[in-house]
Amino acid sequence: MFYKKIKSKGLAHFSYFIGDENEAAVIDPRRDIDIYLEEAEKEGAEIKYIFETHRNEDYIIGSKALASVTGAEILHADGELDYKYGKEVEQDKKYKLGRLSIEALHTPGHTKGSHSYILNDYDDQPWMIFTGDILFANDVGRIDFYGEENIPEIAALLYDSLYNKIMPLGDGVIVCPAHGAGSVCGSQIADREMTTIGIEKKSNPYLQYQSKAEFVSEVGEMEAKPQYFKAMEAANLAAPARTDLPFVKALKANIFEEKAAQKDHVVIDIRSESDFASAHVPSALFLRDNILASFIGWFIATDKKILLVSDGSYPEETIRTLYRMGYENIEGYLYRGMLSWNMAAKESSSVTTANISGFCDFIKDKNKDQYLLLDIRKEEEKEEEGYLESAVEIPLNDLQADLNNYLAKLDSKKDIFIFCGSGIRSMTAASLINAKLEAEVKVVLGGLTAWAESKCILKIKK
């Protein structure tokens, strides 16, 4: 038997390559499929099946691309949707895989047609379950895609899937979800690489309810959705056939500047926050490579033409992430990074930063009406970490969604200090604000984490 969890950096997406003897299956493949072909070659196996747990919203599925190369049979969930490829998986059917079998289990709750897949061992006993977006480590999938009025119905389906179908399989069954910590598909996913039904029964807050009525009354609420979800939903009904990962050209400063000036182009800077603060292309959006997947879907439509600023090296991982998310119009990256921009005598912008000790010294002798604190953390972060006293609270996602309206809350005559957990997202907020507001915007490096290590007079309310 062979098993491989394939992680997609940034998206926190997990796909799986599993098999026995010379037969293999892939569950929820990503768009760039080379890794599955490499694993099949290494194991000397034929990819026989491609299973999908549900229609995805956060990345483009690679099923059709993989099948076009391997001839594998595609079995998708959400059979009520108008798929243009593959066929609907048969509920409760067992698909042979060498000496093992994969059993389709209808587990609605994230979507009405969601399926989990049980890997049965040589004795036909449950060994692993691939839960898609139904069950994560410490979390469950969101249930608001059908509208607020349908949340009770979907919550009831989710309860039945969790309590009556998955939990009875046995405490020792290994749970293999489609996402890990950092995914936009769950807000409380634990950073736990391996988990079991038994571990989740003890630690997952959603598996502690005593009745279905209690579960339905307390679980589920409408959540904001990144704008790119709609594009992904449409793309995943057709699913692109295989296309190779695009090669992105290096652009000299003059050409880069010309393209950046066009309205249908957006410049994304993926360098560190300190590099961006020092000098960046005017109007560039700061999305450091380690947060790009979490936020680009909120800020930029998938049809935008993208220009990248890296440290000068070829930004392959960023290109892969964008490709997986349906961002195909990557026009180029800045040749040799900001070094070539500066050597070409191009205008650059900067962001003022303050370390926590400098910030604390500044506010020590100032009245509260002389400066403004902008807290861009999410509500759940503030509930856990505490609230900044007298701060204007605008979560980063909301700031982008209605920027002009929120800017009216910021007094451009005051020094504006931006806080998040670490300072990385604060730099993104600064890049948005600086393009619109003439103010002294300062990013507090280290954010609330640094404050917790200091003796600053800044007050936090629990």
Tell me, what CATH number does 56's domain have? Answer: 3.60.15.10
**β-strand 415-419 against 126-132: which pairing, if any?**
unpaired
- The DSSP call for residue 325 is T
pTM of the model: 0.92
Higher pLDDT, 404 or 247: 247
Taking the C-alpha atoms of residue 309 and residue 338, their distance in angstroms, rounded to an integer, is 8
439, 412 contact by CB (below 8 A)? yes
For residue 63, the Cα-to-chain-centroid distance in whole angstroms is 20
232 and 376 co-located in one domain: no
Question: Residue 105, CB half-sphere, CA atoms under 13 Å: how many?
Answer: 26
- Band (461; pLDDT cuts 50, 70, 90): confident
Q: Using CA atoms, how far apart are residues 286 and 429, in angstroms rounded to an integer? A: 8
Q: How confident is the model at residue 370 (pLDDT cuts 50, 70, 90)?
A: confident
pLDDT value of position 369:
76
- 244 in a structural domain: no
Q: Is the pLDDT of residue 412 over 70?
A: no
| Total domains in the fold of the chain | 3
Q: Do residues 224 and 322 both lie within one domain?
A: no
* 267 and 406 assigned to the same domain: no
- Counting beta carbons within 10 angstroms of the beta carbon of residue 413, is it exposed (0 to 12), middle (13 to 18) or buried (19 or more)? exposed
Q: What is the pLDDT of residue 199?
A: 98
Residues 201, 259 within the same domain: no
Chain mean position to CA 96: 33
Is pLDDT at 459 greater than 80 in this prediction? Answer: no
- Residue 140 and residue 41 share a domain: yes
In this model, does residue 438 exceed pLDDT 70?
Answer: no
CA 387 – CA 379 distance, rounded (Å): 9
pLDDT of residue 365: 78
Q: Which residue in 234, 266, 286, 326 sits closest to 430, CA to CA?
A: 286
| Count of C-beta atoms within a 10 Å radius of residue 242 | 14
Task: Flag whether 143 is in a domain.
Answer: yes
Q: Same domain, yes or no, for 385 and 423?
A: yes
Give pLDDT tens digits for 383-410: 888 888 888 899 998 887 777 777 777 7
Mean pLDDT over 231-239 rounds to 92
408 and 286 housed in the same domain? no
For residues 88 and 213, state if they share a domain. Answer: yes
- On whether both 59 and 77 belong to a single domain, the answer is yes
Among the three residues 343, 362, 393, which one is the final residue of a domain in this structure? Answer: 343
Whether 296 and 227 map to the same domain: the answer is no
Is 209 in contact with 218 (CB distance < 8 Å)? yes
Taking only the tens place, the pLDDT of each residue in 282-337 is: 999 999 999 999 999 999 999 999 999 999 999 999 999 999 999 999 999 999 99
Report how far apart the first and last C-alpha atoms of the chain are (Å, whole number).
51
Q: Distance between CA 427 and CA 429 in Å, rounded?
A: 5
- Give me the chain's average pLDDT, please: 92
Note the pLDDT tens digit of each residue in 328-359.
999 999 999 999 999 999 999 999 999 988 88
Range of the domain at 280: 250-343
- Indicate if 333 and 365 belong to the same structural domain: no
Residues with Cβ < 8 Å from 443, sequence gap 6 or more? 273, 277, 351, 352, 353, 354, 417, 418, 423, 426, 427, 430
Q: How confident is the model at residue 2 (pLDDT cuts 50, 70, 90)?
A: very high
Domain contains 66: yes
Choose one of 189, 211, 238: the last residue of a domain: 238
Position 42 in a domain:
yes
Q: Who has greater pLDDT, 212 or 438?
A: 212
Output phi, psi for 220, to 5 deg: 105, 130
Residue 245 located in a structural domain: no
Establish if 272 belongs to a structural domain.
yes
pLDDT score at 287: 97
pLDDT for residue 458: 65
Indicate the residue among 318, 343, 368 that finishes a domain: 343
pLDDT in tens, 380-389: 888 888 888 8
CATH number at residue 422: 3.40.250.10
Q: Based on the domain organization, do 107 and 132 belong to the same domain?
A: yes
Q: Is residue 164 assigned to a domain? A: yes
